[in-house]
Amino acid sequence: MPHAAVPTFTLSVKGVEPRHFQVLAFDGAEAVSTPYAITVELVSRSSGIELSDLLHKAAFLGFGPNGEGIHGQIHSIRKSDSNARLTHYVAVLKPSLAYLEHSSHRRSFQQMSVPAIILEVLKEHGLFDGLGVQFDSGVTRAPVRDYCVQYDESDLHFVNRLCEEDGWFYRFEHSADGHRLIFADDEIMFPHAARLALPFKPLNGMVPDEYSINTFGVRLAARTSHVVHRDYDFQKAGYLLESSRQPSLTQAQAQRGEALHVDPKLEHYVYPGRFLEDDHGRRLSNRDLERHRTDFQLADGSSDHPVLRSGTVIQLEEHPQLKWNNPWVLVSIKHEGRQPQVLEELGADAPVAAGKIAQGYRNSFTAIPETIQFRPALRHPKPLIHSTQTAKVTGPEGEEIHCDKFGRVKVKFHWDRRELNDDTTSCWVRVASSWAGNSHGAVTLPRVGMEVLISYLEGDADRPIIIGCLPNSLNPVPYELPANKTKSVFRSRSSKASQGFNEVSFEDRDGAERVYLRAQRDMEQLIQNDSRLEVRGQRLETVKGNSVSVLEAEHHQAITGDRKVQLSAGDHLQVAGSSHTRVTGALVIDAGQDVHYKSSANFIVNAGVTLTLAAGGQHLVITPAGIFSSVPILLGGAPLPGMPAMPLAPAGVDGLEAEMLAPVVQTDPAVQQKLSGNDTIIELCQKPKNGTPMDCPLSDCPCREAMSKGAHA
């Protein structure tokens, strides 16, 4: 061990002569998954060093026997107590990662894994080159996130949150030239190769002859013993997404014959569980349980060894509690060092603050057994959005309507600073409807350029949902307001790039009430049973093309007033049976040319009083008094041929079919797997106890569908 009178603590600042500073004291803390902070008290004969020349400079605090120490940037520097001989400085060393605390954003990342997101954030700050950041293999295999939002949180909070959500941790490795940030997924990434064997030697007032652990204690604490994660996927609406976990011995613990501590069932239930696949759910629930139980068994101690760092694995030896003589992982450590001899060299006094050591180096630490998988606590919660926001619907260039098979659309949030207005602005966002059933309901898709109202499921920025649309200066209301404030309107717009529209509107102004229906092109009605129309005023109808009506049964029409029909062309009438016309007044037929009557049998004209025939200036009159002719009736002559009736047939009308897709029930992949194995599938459908899938209350029960295809119950 170094001689107590010889200064051993040094601070090297890049670009500053080493002789300028002497380390008087330092203290600080570091922990796994936490940026460290070390406060260094310095004295110098140079009073003219500018603070701006020190801020942000890389520095290395050496306090180990072989030059070991902690590297960082000077995030804070203070100068005080200048006198004729010495100037006092206080510098705070932090890692480059700590700069991220001072930068915050609202932005989104799409189709990226968490390591890729973190690297992008770090590269934006230009803080790390390719050697400054390392991801272990478990981290690099992280799944891709469909959509991940950083919302009103610092970049450091965001990075910490992502690591905590996935159960990763990070630590730092130091050298005189820099420090490395290491992200890890498994406790084997702690530096086992540099494991330190340290004996337990309580302080006895004597100067120790070797580095040792001076105090060491272990505590057990009640912790969550069971976790249950549940989620919901609308694309598998009938499938239960749930995963649960409870403690079990690790292989290493079992080999050592350790017993499993059985706690009361203290369950932690999570919804939404942030998973859409069973494998991912099992992974998250397992890590959640590991997180809850990371500090179930926690050791605390103190030491004089200056090379201990958070993440170091130590081998405790010579402790009277023999079962504690095992490997332990340091999860946090506090450093304290003081060398007042530098003041003696400079001819000054060295006052000692209360509670501080007088001279040398000490540390205190917490540790967990090496057999316990470390998972960071959730100290950086995801910001929740408890209000609504508006956004603009986006799509590919030239598209007016852009959606997927579920009617989801893409949006651009007003807080998104990326200059994007295409289909890459966001994830697919679900659109709320007034009604949504199995192939029935209401569908009104927001179109590109519309402003929509966004809410968030469970307040989660990663799960936006559209709950409405709003007019704005670019998309005004269909009718000017407030002039038309009594009008309720539903107007669509023909696509693409058209001014045409369909509309249903309701005018509610007293005395001018009206229902208006407009079809830009065609209008079709399909009525499966009866249709009834009652008009209590006038009915006016204008058809500018043909009007075709097909009645497949009887036609009854009653008119209490006159019927006035004007035909500008021909009139064609075919009667398959008899035709009866009764006129209680006069029947007048006026033909501009010929009138032809033809009967295949008899032609009977019956007049109650007089029958008159007049032609060519002659006449024949039949009355009750006799038959009178204007001239004698002659024999001979020939009848004119009659024109046969040739009425045109009316046009036909094609029948209408309901534009409705048959309900589609897709067999869930999990059910398909059961089918391929000839297994039972009852567990999947949550049927009533002692029932069958046919009793399932779900309208889209996948098990019922599977049974119809031959599955076993």
Torsion-angle region of 626 (φ positive above 0: left; ψ -120 to 50: alpha; else: beta): left
Same domain for 208 and 278: yes
Same domain for 234 and 318: yes
Tell me the pLDDT band of 249, cut-offs 50, 70 and 90.
low
pLDDT one-digit tens code per residue, 529-563: 999 999 999 999 999 999 999 999 999 999 999 99
Same domain for 120 and 143: yes
Within 10 Å of residue 568's Cβ, how many Cβ atoms? 4
> What's the rounded Cα separation, in Å, for the pair 509 and 516?
14
Number of domains in the chain: 6
Q: Is 640 within a domain?
A: no
Mean pLDDT of the chain: 86
Q: Is the pLDDT of residue 673 over 70?
A: no
Q: Is 380 within a domain?
A: no
Give the model's pLDDT for residue 642.
72
Give the model's pLDDT for residue 663.
47
Q: Is the pLDDT of residue 309 over 60?
A: yes
Q: Is 530 within a domain?
A: no
Q: Is the pLDDT of residue 686 over 60?
A: no
Please, are residues 201 and 214 in contact by the beta-carbon 8 Å criterion?
yes
Tell me the pLDDT band of 282, cut-offs 50, 70 and 90.
very high
Q: Which residue has the higher pLDDT, 229 or 193?
A: 229
Give Cβ neighbours of residue 566 (< 8 Å, ≥ 6 apart). Answer: none
pLDDT one-digit tens code per residue, 624-633: 999 999 998 8
> What's the rounded Cα separation, in Å, for the pair 433 and 413?
21
Helix (H) or strand (E) holding 35: strand 34-44
Q: Is the pLDDT of residue 354 over 50?
A: no
Tell me the pLDDT band of 639, cut-offs 50, 70 and 90.
confident
Give the model's pLDDT for residue 214.
94
What is the domain-level CATH number for residue 457? 2.40.50.230
Tell me the pLDDT band of 175, cut-offs 50, 70 and 90.
very high
> What's the rounded Cα separation, in Å, for the pair 107 and 113?
16
Q: Which of 279-293, 337-351, 597-611 has the lowest mean pLDDT?
A: 337-351
Domain edge (last residue) among 49, 72, 96: 96
Same domain for 498 and 423: no
Q: Is 14 within a domain?
A: yes
Same domain for 287 and 214: yes
pLDDT one-digit tens code per residue, 84-133: 678 899 999 999 999 999 999 999 999 999 999 999 999 998 876 655 88
Domain edge (last residue) among 470, 503, 535: 470
Q: Is 646 within a domain?
A: no
Q: Which residue has the higher pLDDT, 488 or 248?
A: 488
Q: Which of 75-84, 273-282, 407-416, 431-440 has the lowest mean pLDDT?
A: 75-84
Q: Is the pLDDT of residue 470 over 60?
A: yes
Is 0.85 surpassed by the pTM of this model? no
Of the chain, the percentage scoring pLDDT greater than 90 comes to 65
> What's the rounded Cα separation, in Å, for the pair 300 and 216?
6
Same domain for 328 and 198: yes
Closest CA to 380 of 610, 169, 695: 169
**What is each CA distance from 103 to 124, 153, 165, 580, in whole angstroms?**
11, 8, 21, 94
> Bridge partners of 327?
315
Tell me the pLDDT band of 256, cut-offs 50, 70 and 90.
low
Same domain for 249 and 146: no
Tell me the residue range of the domain where 67 lies: 10-96
Same domain for 361 and 227: yes
Same domain for 17 and 107: no
Give the model's pLDDT for residue 216.
97
Q: Is the pLDDT of residue 27 over 90?
A: yes
